[in-house]
């Protein structure tokens, strides 16, 4: 393969001033896994770490935006963690094609009130819900309920006390959200049923991968049947809670189809690109989307990796597919990028099929 045939990928990652030595080492290990996967797929790969400015690390990198695609693995800045949209704003200004969500999608999903409205308008099945700014505005009688700050990401602000079983608990939690996060509260019906995380990926065609079911073994209290912030990011908490993850889960044909349809609807409603993870609960065979996560975790132990493996893809193939989705978008926009050999072969097969159908 010549240099002109290679897909050139800059892996952009961040530093967070709050990380300890273990966090830094974990970040190094995960970065190595991604770069190894891309190199094995024939890409020319470079890396750049963002502290305070994307422009500062890319402008003099020698990576021409017309020739290099950015694998956006950057969650913010050293002193501004979770400023996902700030990073993509800079990438847009520099005219790079990059993997994952646009600034618009990132901002819409950061506001649970806005994202809920967009999904409602698109007909996505959601739990009953109400945004409450002060406890005095409350008009709610469905229990158990779950209370979420509307301005937080990644389940931040969700713990077992977020699930409330009466009006007194509800008012207390709404006040807690106001005091702690300076935020209105989204009150939703807590769907007592099965919970799934579903990866949807693609652009022109969006496909739902096999769902991952989160099983809360022998737990009767609804407060212990919620994927809290700690459970998403602390393996010790997962072990203590005796959680199990099943992929693919046992579902009827009807339930599986309804689950996939709801997730693709939500993916489209928030204009996701390349890949996202949808959190869903099901009552019987009826799904209810409870959260949309653009640019979710993709490390080798993530929910997305489990789903890809169930689809027959290795972790490296999953990473390469994300890059190919972004490269295809760049080509459609007129950028002189190239695709991986596997993606080129897939495109040729599609062209042959289309030619045969139209012959």
Pair of tokens at residue 79: 């002193």
* DSSP type of residue 98: E
Q: Which of 209, 204, 206 is nearest to 329 (CA)?
A: 204
* Residue 357: predicted pLDDT: 45
Element at 195 (helix H, strand E) = strand 194-202
* Residue 229: predicted pLDDT: 60
From the candidate CATH numbers 3.40.50, 3.30.1490, 2.60.40, 3.30.429, the one assigned to the domain spanning 3-100+311-358 = 3.40.50
Q: Which of 205, 199, 234 is nearest to 306 (CA)?
A: 199
CA distance 23 to 75: 14
Pair of tokens at residue 142: 């469905």
* Residue 154: predicted pLDDT: 67
| pLDDT, tens digit (0-9, with 9 covering 90-100), for 114-167 | 999 999 999 999 999 999 988 777 889 999 999 999 988 767 778 888 999 999
Q: Which of 325, 327, 343, 347 is nearest to 335 (CA)?
A: 327
* Residue 359: predicted pLDDT: 47
Backbone phi, psi, residue 283, to 5°: -110, 110
Pairing of strands 8-14, 68-73: parallel
Percent helix, strand, coil in the chain, to 5, is 45, 25, 35
Residues 6+ apart with CB under 8 A from 323: 7, 9, 38, 43, 69, 71, 99, 340
As a dihedral over the C-alpha atoms of residue 283, residue 288, residue 290, residue 292, rounded to 10 degrees, the angle is: 140
* Residue 224: predicted pLDDT: 73
Task: State the DSSP string of 277-338.
Answer: EEEEEEETTEEEEEEEEES---STTSHHHHHHHHTT--HHHHHHHHHHHHHHHHHHTT----
| pLDDT, tens digit (0-9, with 9 covering 90-100), for 157-203 | 788 889 999 999 999 999 999 999 999 999 999 999 999 999 999 99
Give the mean pLDDT of 219-242.
Answer: 65
Backbone phi, psi, residue 337, to 5°: -85, 170
* Residue 351: predicted pLDDT: 56
Domain boundaries, the chain: 3-100+311-358, 127-189
| pLDDT, tens digit (0-9, with 9 covering 90-100), for 240-291 | 566 789 999 999 999 999 999 999 999 999 999 999 999 999 999 999 999 9
Q: What is the fold, at CATH topology level, of the domain defined by 127-189?
A: Dna Ligase; domain 1 (3.30.1490)
Residue matched to tokens 């739990």: 127
| pLDDT, tens digit (0-9, with 9 covering 90-100), for 326-359 | 999 988 877 777 666 666 665 565 455 556 544 4
Q: Does the pLDDT value for residue 207 go beyond 90?
A: yes
* Residue 343: predicted pLDDT: 66
What is the side-by-side order of every strand in the sheet holding 163-164? 129-132, 185-189, 145-149, 163-164
Q: What is the pTM of this model?
A: 0.90
| pLDDT, tens digit (0-9, with 9 covering 90-100), for 87-122 | 999 999 999 999 999 999 999 999 999 999 999 999
């Amino acid at each position: 393969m010549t240099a002109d045939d290679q897909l050139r990928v800059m892996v952009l990652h961040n530093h967070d001033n709050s990380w300890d030595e273990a966090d830094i080492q974990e970040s190094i290990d995960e970065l190595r896994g991604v770069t190894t996967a891309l190199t094995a797929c024939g890409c020319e790969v470079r890396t750049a770490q963002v502290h305070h400015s994307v422009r500062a690390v890319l402008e003099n990198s020698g990576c021409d935006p017309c020739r290099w695609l950015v694998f956006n693995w950057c969650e913010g800045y050293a002193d501004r963690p979770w400023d996902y949209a700030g990073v993509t704003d800079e990438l847009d200004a520099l005219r790079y094609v990059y993997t994952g969500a646009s600034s618009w999608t990132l901002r819409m999903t950061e506001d649970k009130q806005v994202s809920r409205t967009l999904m409602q308008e698109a007909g996505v099945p959601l739990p009953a819900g109400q945004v409450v700014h002060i406890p005095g505005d409350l008009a709610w009688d469905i229990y158990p309920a779950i209370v979420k700050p509307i301005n937080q990401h990644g389940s931040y602000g969700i713990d077992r006390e977020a699930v409330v079983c009466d009006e007194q608990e509800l008012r207390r939690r709404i006040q807690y959200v106001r005091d702690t996060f300076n935020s209105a509260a989204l009150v939703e019906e807590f769907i007592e049923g099965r919970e799934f995380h579903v990866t949807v990926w693609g652009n022109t065609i969006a496909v739902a991968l096999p769902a991952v079911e989160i099983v809360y073994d022998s737990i009767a209290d609804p407060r212990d049947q919620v994927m809290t912030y700690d459970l998403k990011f602390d393996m010790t908490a997962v072990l203590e809670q005796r959680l199990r993850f099943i992929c693919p889960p046992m579902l009827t044909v009807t339930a599986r189809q309804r689950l996939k349809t709801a997730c693709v609807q939500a993916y489209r409603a928030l204009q996701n690109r390349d890949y996202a993870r949808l959190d869903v609960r099901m009552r019987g065979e009826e799904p209810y989307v409870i959260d949309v996560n653009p640019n979710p975790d993709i490390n080798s132990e993530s929910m997305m990796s489990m789903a890809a493996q169930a689809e027959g893809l290795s972790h490296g193939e999953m990473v390469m597919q994300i890059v190919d989705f972004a490269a295809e978008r760049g080509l459609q926009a007129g950028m002189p990028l190239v695709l991986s050999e596997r993606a080129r072969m897939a495109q040729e097969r599609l062209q042959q099929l289309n030619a045969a159908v139209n012959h």
